[in-house]
Structure 1
């Protein structure tokens, strides 16, 4: 009898934790889902479906090196808003992130890094990039720009959090 009560209590706690600590795309307000589209200042509102798709694609394609918005190969450069805005050219909007995922350059923009960073240009080297469409890249870029609004300083926080 005691085992059943303990099991029921644990199950209830797990359910509470699951539903209270997870942010679902449909729960995100429109203002949170509004993201910078291009360098001119235009914005776009992501749908809950695009948010979910972006998360799924990011996790399956990018998260092995960018868990939590860090960059495992160079912890000094993350996917946080400050680092993205300081890159040359800035990568702090959807269009510029898509350009980067198609043909990546060094942080200062002076040289191609397509041979060492997964991209559409280097899809022959990085098989995960072969089947990504422009819509997929759009969703991934949206995920990258949405995470600082959800995870705040934890996104791109590096060793402090991960």
Structure 2
């Protein structure tokens, strides 16, 4: 009886592990299709870009934005609604890259580069020093992909994180 329980537990563990791996690599093309610019042009991220974007986001941005929240201002997260209501809107890859290069306040009236990591303030924020335009591109893609994958959890705040 004990051996059957052990075999059953091992089988369930292996099944769970394999289904999680399959889920991570099998995001369909429509899920990986993201807005490129404000004109409505889209781009399909490759599975490699998805993986790289997640890794870069986690190593560069997740200290303050884990789960799409903003620890320093919980009222403004990385969820689609907050990104689209910013001025200018930050709801596409190009606008997020612009923001990561030279961030502005939510209403767009002033630079916040001295308090928010960016390429402009890389001398203050060392994690930003080695990021290329391609790195920023994949990070932006990760930010826009997460609401499709994590749904309401992305940017959901204290309820989830």
What TM-score comes out, normalization by structure 2 length?
0.94
Q: Displacement, 1:7?
A: 4.2
Count, aligned residues: 160
Counterpart of 1:105? 104
Q: Distance in 1 between matches of 2:76 and 2:17?
A: 32
Counterpart of 2:30? 31
Q: Distance in 2 between matches of 1:8 and 1:64?
A: 40
Q: Secondary structure at the match of 1:123?
A: coil
What runs of 5+ residues in structure 1 fail to find an aligned partner? none
Counterpart of 1:144? 143
Q: Deviations over 1:53-96 (max 9, x none)?
A: 10010011011111110001111000000000000000000000
Counterpart of 2:93? 94
Counterpart of 2:158? 159
Q: Secondary structure at the match of 1:44?
A: strand
Q: Secondary structure at the match of 1:119?
A: coil
Q: Deviations over 1:108-139 (max 9, x none)?
A: 00111111111000001111000000000000
Give me the CA root mean square deviation.
1.4
Q: Secondary structure at the match of 1:59?
A: helix
Counterpart of 2:70? 71
Counterpart of 1:18? 17
Q: Secondary structure at the match of 2:146?
A: helix
Q: Distance in 1 between matches of 2:6 and 2:63?
A: 35
Q: Distance in 2 between matches of 1:156 and 1:66?
A: 9
Counterpart of 1:130? 129
After TM superposition, where is structure 1 displaced by more than 4 Å over at least 4 residues in a row? 4-7
Counterpart of 1:49? 48
